[in-house]
C-alpha cells in the first residue's frame, strides 16, 4: 500500500493551477464578448434575418400581356404549364428523390442531376429549384398523389407563352425563353427560370409585355408545408397589345410564300401601319418557350434557307428594276429629265469596249420616260444614270429612305447600302467608274435594299411623298420620317407610270390588274451572279436554284382613301412577273376580302426548283451584264 | 466496505449540483430542440426520452465511480493502457464499419467505441506518469509522456477518427501544461508549433480543408458548408438579450438550424434564452470547471491532482471547441457540448468522470500526515 501514497504530501504545481483558472477566465471572456456581439450588438440584424428565414417568400407569376391582331384575333396567349420544383431544405435524400422523379417522368437521372448541380448554387435551400419545366398532366397527377411521401417535391403552375399561329408570325412576335445570366443582370427583377422576350415584338416590348410578379409570404414547417400565407403583392398582368397585322392577310401571304424563300410587306400608305410582314421559311415560336432541344436548334441553325432570318428587314438584295423609279425620281428632282425626250433603244449600249445590254434583245426603239418605266427599258436608264452620275442618284436614294434604317420596332434591322464614290474607294480601293453608273441606274451593282425600304418608298410615291416609319402596333401614331424630294406633280408622274405598267397592254405587271381598284406595279429581277456562258445557255428551269435571279415586285393599290404599298421578294424566283399572282391575291384580299390561295402546282414547282443541283462552277459576285 | 461518514461530508456538492443542473438544462433544451411544435410522428421526442434514461444511468455510474478509492486506479493505470491499446488494435481486425469508419466493436448487446475508453485511459495513465515527475518536464520526459498519448491517439486517428484522436492528445497535452515544462521546452514549443501548424494542412482530408476554408469565409458557400455557421449565428443572434422564450425559437423550431440537438444544441439555447440565459449557462460551465481546479488544488496527493486536471481538460476542450464553433469562432468540427448535446454514451462518460473527480474530492482529508 505504501507505494500508493508515497507522494501524498506533495503540493500540486502552483503554476498549473493558475493556468487552469486563466483558461477558464479567458474562455469566459472570449465567449461573453462574442455573445454580446451576436446577441446585443447585432441582435436586431439577426432577428430580421431570422424572420426572413422562417417566413419564406414566393413569387406569384404574372401572365405576359396578350397579343392580338388588328381585328382582335388572339395571337399570343398564356397557358398554364406545370413545373417540378425541388426544395432542398425539405428534401431528406436528393439522389433518392431524383431517382424517383426519373422513374415517374421517364427522364434520365444523370440529366436531372446535372440540372440540379447547375442550379443549386443560385437557388436558396428553401426555394424551389426547377427540375422540369413542362410536366405532362399524367406526371402532375402522379407526383401530386405521392407528395406526402416525397417531401421537397412541389408542382408549380406558371403561365407559359403559347402562340396560336406558331410559324405564321414568328418573325413579328419573336419568342420568349428562359432568361440567361446577362439578362438577369440587366433586369434584377428576373429570377432563374423566368421567361423573357428574345426576339421580335416580345423582345422589343419586353417591359410592356411582362407583368409584375406578385409576392406571397408564408411560414413553413419542417416539410416545407405552409402554415400561414399572406399576399404581400398582387401580381399584375402585362399590357395587352394589338398589332397592326391583319391575321387573314398574313396567312394569305404566308401561304403564297410557302415552299419559297422570300418576304412580303404590306404597308398602309396613309399611316405606315404594316398589315402583313411575311417571311419564309419560318420557324415555330412555341418551340422556344418550352425550351429548344439541341437537335431542334441544330436543325434551325443549319438549314440552308435560314428560317431564323427575317427577309423583310434583315436581308438585303439588289433591287433590280424596282429601283428605276428611284432613278427616274432623281432625274425629275434634278431637272435632268424631260419626260417627252426619247432615247433610241437598240437593245444595247456601248461604254468603251464594254457592251451593256437591255433585257429586251431587239431593243425598245424610241423610248420616252413613260415607256421606259412601263416596259422597263434598260438602255434608257443606262443613259439616265450616265447623265445623273452617282452623286445625284445616291443622294436622292438616301433622301428617299434607302441605305438607312426604317426604324421598325423589330430587332436587328439592316440598312442596306447605297454606294457613293467615297464608299467604293473605301470598300474596294478604286474610284467610281462609268459602268458603275450604268449598273446603279438599273438597280444592280452595289445597291442593296430591304423589301421594307421598297414598300416605304412606294408608299411615299402615292401618299404625297411622306416617308413613314413602318408601324407594327395598331395604336401607334403615324410618324413622318422624311420626304421624297419631289413635287406632287413629279410624284404623280411616277405613280402614273406604275399604273400604266399594269394597265398598258405592253406593261410588265398586267396580271395584277384588279377590278375596282387602282393598281400600279413594277417588277424587278435582281441578278445574284453574273451568269457564265455555260449557264446562259440553259433554260430558266434548268439553272441551279442558287444561281437564279431574285424576283421583285413592288405594287401600289388605292381605292378611295385607302392606299397600300406592297413589296414582295422571292429569292431565286427568276422573273419578277412571277410574283404577280401573289400580289393580286393580296390586293383582292385588301379590298374585297377575297382569299385566293396559292395553287398546289406552284408550291410543287418551287419545291422541285430547289432540288436542282449546282454544277461545280465558281460563283461570281453580282455585277454588270 | 463500510463507508466512512466523513466521505459523504467531503463530497464536493457544488460540483455534483452544477453537473446535474447542466444535465437538466440540457434535457430541457433537447425537449425544445426536439420540435414539440411538429406534428405527431415527426418530432424527435425519442431523443429526449433516451437522453433522460442515459442521464439516469450516468448518475448511477457516477455514484459507482465515487465509492471506490480512486488511488487503486494508479496501480491499474498500465494494465488499463495496454487493454485499451489491444482493443484499439482489435478494431482494425474485427471492428464494425459504420459511416465508412471502423470505430466500433460489436459486443452483441451494444456497439462499443474503444476510443471513448482511450480518453479515460489517457488521463489515468497521464496522471500516473506525471505525478511521479518531480521537476518540470524536459525534452526527454516530455517525449516519453507524449509517446504514450501518441500510441493511443495515433491508433484512433488511423481508424479514422481525427476528432477523438486529437482529443486524447489534447487531454494529455493539457495535463502536461498543468505539470509544467522547462523554460527551454516552452520556448522551443513557442517557436516550433506555429511553424508546424501550417504543415498539418497537408495531412488533412479535403472535407476538413473545406471546413476550415468555409470557416474563414462562410459567405463563400452560404448554401453548402457555410450554411451551418450562418444559421447558427442567426439563431443565436436573433435571441437578443432576453431570448425568444422556451419553445419559441423560430430558427430551431422550424428546422432552419441543422444538427440542433447535437452539435448545435447551444444555438437553440441561445435563441430561446438570449444573452441573459446563455451567459448564465456559460457561468455554470465556468463554475463547473472551477470546481475541478479546486479539487485539483486540494487533492491529497499528486495523482488525484493530475486526475482532476485531466478531467478538467476533458471537459474544457469540448466546451471550448463546441461553443467556439457554434458562435462562429472556430471551424465546424463534430464535438458535442457536455451535458447539453444529445448523446448517450457521452452523457454516461461525462457523469463517470464527474464521479471520478468527486471521488478525489471526498478523499482529500484521508490519511493525513
pLDDT (tens digit per residue) in A385-394? 999 999 999 9
- From CA B253, how far away is CA B263, in angstroms rounded? 16
- From CA B113, how far away is CA B97, in angstroms rounded? 11
Residue from A25, A30, A46 to probe the interface with B (highest B Cβ count within 10 Å): A46
Greatest CA separation for chain B: 64
What average pLDDT does chain A have? 85
Contact A522, A553 (CB under 8 A): yes
- From CA A624, how far away is CA A296, in angstroms rounded? 41
Q: How many helices (H) and strands (E) does chain B have?
A: 14, 3
Flag whether residue A32 sits within 8 Å of chain B, measured between CB atoms.
Answer: yes
Say if residue A618's pLDDT is above 50: no
pLDDT, tens only, B158-187: 887 888 888 999 999 999 999 888 888 888
Helix H segments across A504-539?
533-537
Cα–Cα distances in angstroms (integers) from residue A544 to residues A368, A577, A607, A611, B54, in the given order: 36, 19, 13, 8, 92
Give me the pLDDT at residue A4, please.
Answer: 39
List, as ranges, residues 70-129 from B with C-beta within 8 Å of A: 71-72, 74-75
A77/A304: higher pLDDT: A77
Say if residue A206's pLDDT is above 80: yes
- CB neighbours of A241 closer than 8 A, spacing ≥ 6? A65, A66, A67, A68, A201, A205, A208, A209, A473
Say if residue A541's pLDDT is above 70: no
- CB neighbours of A459 closer than 8 A, spacing ≥ 6? A267, A268, A269, A272, A466, A468, A556, A563, A564, A565
Chain A's closest residue to B136, CA to CA, is: A13
- In terms of C-beta density within 10 A (0-12 exposed, 13-18 middle, 19 or more buried), how is residue A108 classed? exposed
A502/A189: higher pLDDT: A502
Give me the pLDDT at residue B35, please.
Answer: 57
- From CA B63, how far away is CA B58, in angstroms rounded? 9
pLDDT, tens only, A435-448: 899 999 999 889 99
- From CA A343, how far away is CA A365, in angstroms rounded? 8
Give me the pLDDT at residue A8, please.
Answer: 43
Put simply, the answer to whether B300 touches A8 (Cβ < 8 Å) is yes
Give me the pLDDT at residue B49, please.
Answer: 79
Task: State the pairing for strand pair A518-526/A241-242.
Answer: unpaired
pLDDT band at B99 (very low <50, low <70, confident <90, very high): low
pTM listed for this prediction: 0.62
Nearest one of A513, A527, A504 to A372, comparing CA atoms: A504
Q: Which residues pair with A443 in a beta bridge?
A: none
Give me the pLDDT at residue A568, please.
Answer: 92
Say if residue A578's pLDDT is above 80: no
Give me the pLDDT at residue B19, please.
Answer: 95
Contact B271, B234 (CB under 8 A): no
B8-18 mean pLDDT: 89
Put simply, the answer to whether B237 touches A23 (Cβ < 8 Å) is no
N-to-C CA span, chain B? 23
- Which residue spans within A440-561 are E strands per DSSP? 466-468, 480-483, 518-526, 550-559
B37: distance to nearest CA of chain A, Å? 9
For a pLDDT cut of 90, what percent of chain B falls above it? 36
Give me the pLDDT at residue B42, please.
Answer: 44
Q: Is A584 left (phi over 0), alpha (psi -120 to 50) or beta?
A: alpha
By Cβ distance, the residue of B256, B275, B305 closest to A39 is B275
List, as ranges, residues 298-327 from B with C-beta within 8 Å of A: 299-303, 305, 309, 312, 316, 319-320, 323-324, 327
Helix, strand, coil share (%) of chain B residues, nearest 5: 70, 5, 25
Establish whether the linkage from the previous residue to B160 is cis, with ω within 30° of 0: yes
pLDDT, tens only, B286-335: 999 999 999 999 988 889 999 999 999 999 999 999 999 888 888 877 78
A475-504 mean pLDDT: 92
- From CA A263, how far away is CA A579, in angstroms rounded? 11
Give me the pLDDT at residue A271, please.
Answer: 94
Say if residue A1's pLDDT is above 50: no
A193 SS3 class: coil
Report chain B residues whose CB lies below 8 A from the CB of A23.
Answer: 316
Cα–Cα distances in angstroms (integers) from residue A387 to residues A336, A381, A438, A443, B328, in the given order: 8, 9, 10, 16, 88
- From CA B260, how far away is CA A233, in angstroms rounded? 34
Report chain B residues whose CB lies below 8 A from the CB of A28.
Answer: 282-283, 286
A49-59 mean pLDDT: 72
Say if residue A616's pLDDT is above 50: no
ipTM score: 0.89
Report chain A residues whose CB lies below 8 A from the CB of B73.
Answer: none
Say if residue B108's pLDDT is above 70: no
Flag whether residue B150 sits within 8 Å of chain A, measured between CB atoms.
Answer: no
pLDDT band at A191 (very low <50, low <70, confident <90, very high): confident
Put simply, the answer to whether A38 touches B319 (Cβ < 8 Å) is no
pLDDT, tens only, A417-464: 999 999 999 998 888 888 899 999 999 889 999 999 999 999 999 999
Flag whether residue A487 sits within 8 Å of chain B, measured between CB atoms.
Answer: no
Give me the pLDDT at residue A7, please.
Answer: 44
Give me the pLDDT at residue B219, please.
Answer: 67
For a pLDDT cut of 90, what percent of chain A falls above it? 38
B260: distance to nearest CA of chain A, Å? 13
List, as ranges, residues 117-156 from A with C-beta within 8 Å of B: 120-121, 123-126
N-to-C CA span, chain A? 127
Contact A347, A358 (CB under 8 A): yes
Cα A65 to chain centroid, rounded: 19
A314-320 mean pLDDT: 91
A58 SS3 class: strand
- From CA B328, how far away is CA B338, in angstroms rounded? 18
Nearest one of A468, A447, A452, A431 to A398, comparing CA atoms: A447
pLDDT, tens only, A211-247: 888 888 777 655 556 677 778 788 888 999 999 999 9
Put simply, the answer to whether B278 touches A35 (Cβ < 8 Å) is yes
- CB neighbours of B194 closer than 8 A, spacing ≥ 6? none
Q: Which residues pair with A278 in a beta bridge?
A: A264
Amino acid at each position: 500500500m505504501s507505494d500508493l501514497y508515497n507522494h501524498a504530501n506533495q503540493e500540486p504545481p502552483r503554476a498549473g493551477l493558475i493556468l487552469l483558472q486563466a483558461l477558464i477566465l479567458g474562455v469566459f471572456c472570449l465567449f461573453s464578448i462574442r455573445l454580446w456581439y451576436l446577441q446585443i450588438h447585432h441582435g436586431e440584424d439577426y432577428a430580421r434575418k431570422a424572420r426572413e428565414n422562417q417566413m419564406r417568400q414566393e413569387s406569384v407569376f404574372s401572365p405576359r400581356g396578350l397579343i392580338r391582331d388588328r381585328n382582335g384575333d388572339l395571337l399570343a396567349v398564356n397557358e398554364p404549364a406545370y413545373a417540378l420544383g425541388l426544395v432542398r431544405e425539405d428534401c431528406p435524400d436528393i439522389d433518392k428523390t431524383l431517382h424517383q422523379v426519373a422513374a415517374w417522368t421517364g427522364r434520365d437521372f444523370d440529366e436531372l442531376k446535372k440540372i440540379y448541380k447547375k442550379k443549386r448554387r443560385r437557388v436558396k435551400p428553401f426555394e424551389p429549384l426547377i427540375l422540369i419545366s413542362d410536366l405532362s398532366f399524367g406526371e402532375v397527377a402522379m407526383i401530386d398523389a405521392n407528395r406526402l411521401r416525397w417531401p421537397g417535391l412541389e408542382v408549380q403552375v406558371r403561365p407559359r407563352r403559347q402562340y396560336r399561329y406558331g410559324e405564321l408570325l414568328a418573325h413579328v412576335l419573336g419568342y420568349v425563353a428562359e432568361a440567361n445570366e446577362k439578362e438577369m443582370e440587366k433586369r434584377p427583377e428576373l429570377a432563374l427560370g423566368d421567361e423573357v422576350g428574345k426576339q421580335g415584338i416580345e423582345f422589343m416590348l419586353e417591359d410592356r409585355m411582362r407583368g409584375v410578379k406578385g409576392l406571397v409570404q408564408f411560414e413553413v414547417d419542417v416539410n416545407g408545408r405552409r402554415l400561414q400565407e399572406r399576399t404581400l403583392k398582387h401580381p399584375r398582368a402585362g399590357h395587352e397589345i394589338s398589332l397592326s397585322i391583319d391575321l387573314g392577310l398574313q396567312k394569305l401571304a404566308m401561304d403564297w410564300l410557302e415552299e419559297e424563300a422570300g418576304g412580303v410587306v404590306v404597308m398602309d400608305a396613309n399611316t405606315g401601319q404594316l398589315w402583313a410582314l411575311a417571311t419564309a421559311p419560318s420557324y415555330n415560336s412555341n418551340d422556344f418557350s418550352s425550351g429548344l432541344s439541341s437537335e431542334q436548334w441544330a436543325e434551325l441553325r443549319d438549314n440552308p434557307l435560314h428560317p431564323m432570318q427575317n427577309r423583310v428587314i434583315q436581308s438585303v438584295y439588289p433591287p433590280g428594276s424596282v429601283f428605276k423609279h428611284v432613278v427616274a425620281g432623281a432625274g425629275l428632282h434634278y431637272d435632268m429629265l424631260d419626260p417627252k425626250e426619247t432615247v433610241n433603244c437598240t437593245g444595247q449600249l456601248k461604254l468603251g469596249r464594254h457592251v451593256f445590254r437591255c433585257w429586251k434583245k431587239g431593243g425598245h426603239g424610241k423610248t420616252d420616260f413613260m415607256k421606259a418605266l412601263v416596259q422597263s427599258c434598260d438602255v434608257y436608264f443606262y443613259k439616265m444614270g450616265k447623265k445623273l452620275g452617282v452623286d445625284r442618284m445616291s443622294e436622292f436614294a438616301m433622301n428617299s429612305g434607302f441605305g438607312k434604317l426604317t426604324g421598325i420596332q423589330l430587332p436587328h434591322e439592316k440598312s442596306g447600302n447605297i454606294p457613293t464614290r467615297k464608299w467604293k474607294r473605301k470598300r474596294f480601293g478604286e474610284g467610281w467608274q462609268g459602268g458603275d453608273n450604268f449598273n446603279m441606274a438599273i438597280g444592280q451593282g452595289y445597291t442593296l435594299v430591304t423589301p421594307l425600304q421598297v414598300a416605304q418608298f412606294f408608299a411615299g410615291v402615292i401618299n404625297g411623298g411622306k416617308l413613314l416609319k413602318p408601324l407594327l402596333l395598331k395604336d401607334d401614331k403615324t410618324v413622318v420620317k422624311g420626304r421624297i424630294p419631289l413635287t406632287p406633280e413629279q410624284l404623280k408622274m411616277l405613280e402614273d407610270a406604275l399604273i400604266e405598267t399594269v394597265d398598258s397592254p405592253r406593261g410588265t405587271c398586267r396580271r395584277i390588274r384588279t377590278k375596282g381598284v387602282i393598281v400600279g406595279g413594277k417588277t424587278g429581277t435582281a441578278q445574284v451572279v453574273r451568269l457564265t456562258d455555260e449557264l446562259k445557255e440553259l433554260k430558266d428551269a434548268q439553272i441551279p436554284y442558287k444561281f437564279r435571279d431574285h424576283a421583285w415586285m413592288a405594287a401600289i393599290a388605292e381605292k378611295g382613301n385607302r392606299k397600300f404599298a406592297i413589296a414582295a421578294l422571292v429569292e431565286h424566283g427568276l422573273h419578277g412577273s412571277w410574283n404577280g399572282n401573289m400580289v393580286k391575291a393580296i390586293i383582292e384580299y385588301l379590298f374585297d376580302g377575297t382569299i385566293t390561295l396559292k395553287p398546289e402546282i406552284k408550291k410543287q414547282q418551287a419545291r422541285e426548283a430547289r432540288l436542282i443541283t449546282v454544277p461545280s462552277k465558281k460563283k461570281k459576285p453580282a455585277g454588270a451584264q | 466496505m463500510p463507508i466512512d461518514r466523513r466521505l459523504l461530508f467531503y463530497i464536493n456538492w457544488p460540483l455534483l449540483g452544477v453537473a446535474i443542473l447542466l444535465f437538466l438544462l440540457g434535457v430541457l433544451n433537447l425537449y425544445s430542440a426536439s420540435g414539440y411544435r411538429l406534428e405527431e410522428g415527426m418530432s424527435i421526442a425519442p431523443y429526449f426520452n433516451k437522453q433522460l434514461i442515459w442521464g439516469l444511468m450516468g448518475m448511477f455510474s457516477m455514484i459507482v465511480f465515487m465509492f471506490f478509492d480512486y488511488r487503486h486506479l494508479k496501480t491499474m493505470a498500465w494494465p488499463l493502457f495496454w487493454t485499451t491499446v489491444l482493443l484499439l488494435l482489435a478494431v482494425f481486425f474485427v471492428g464494425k464499419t459504420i459511416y465508412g469508419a471502423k470505430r466500433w466493436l460489436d459486443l452483441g448487446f451494444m456497439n462499443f467505441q474503444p476510443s471513448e475508453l482511450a480518453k479515460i485511459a489517457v488521463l489515468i495513465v497521464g496522471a500516473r506518469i506525471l505525478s511521479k515527475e518531480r521537476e518540470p518536464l524536459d525534452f526527454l520526459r516530455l517525449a516519453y509522456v507524449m509517446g504514450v498519448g501518441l500510441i493511443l491517439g495515433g491508433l484512433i486517428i488511423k481508424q479514422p477518427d481525427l476528432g477523438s484522436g486529437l482529443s486524447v492528445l489534447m487531454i494529455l497535452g493539457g495535463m502536461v501544461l498543468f505539470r509544467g515544462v522547462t523554460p527551454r521546452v516552452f520556448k522551443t514549443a513557442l517557436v516550433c508549433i506555429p511553424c508546424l501548424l501550417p504543415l498539418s494542412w497537408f495531412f488533412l482530408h479535403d472535407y476538413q480543408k473545406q471546413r476550415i476554408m468555409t470557416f474563414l469565409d462562410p459567405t463563400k458557400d452560404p448554401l453548402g458548408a457555410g450554411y451551418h455557421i450562418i444559421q447558427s449565428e442567426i439563431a443565436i443572434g436573433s435571441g437578443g438579450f432576453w431570448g425568444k422564450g422556451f419553445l419559441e425559437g423560430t430558427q430551431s423550431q422550424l428546422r432552419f438550424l441543422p444538427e440542433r440537438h447535437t452539435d448545435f444544441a447551444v444555438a437553440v439555447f441561445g435563441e430561446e434564452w438570449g444573452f441573459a440565459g446563455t451567459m448564465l449557462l456559460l457561468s455554470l460551465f465556468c463554475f463547473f470547471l472551477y470546481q475541478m481546479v479546486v479539487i485539483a488544488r486540494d487533492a491529497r496527493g499528486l495523482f488525484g491532482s493530475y486526475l482532476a486536471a485531466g478531467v478538467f481538460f476533458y471537459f474544457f476542450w469540448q466546451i471550448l471547441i463546441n461553443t467556439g464553433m457554434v458562435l462562429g469562432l472556430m471551424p465546424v468540427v463534430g464535438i458535442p457540448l457536455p451535458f447539453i448535446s444529445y448523446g448517450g454514451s457521452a452523457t454516461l462518460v461525462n457523469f463517470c468522470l464527474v464521479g471520478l473527480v468527486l471521488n478525489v474530492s471526498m478523499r482529500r482529508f484521508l490519511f493525513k500526515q
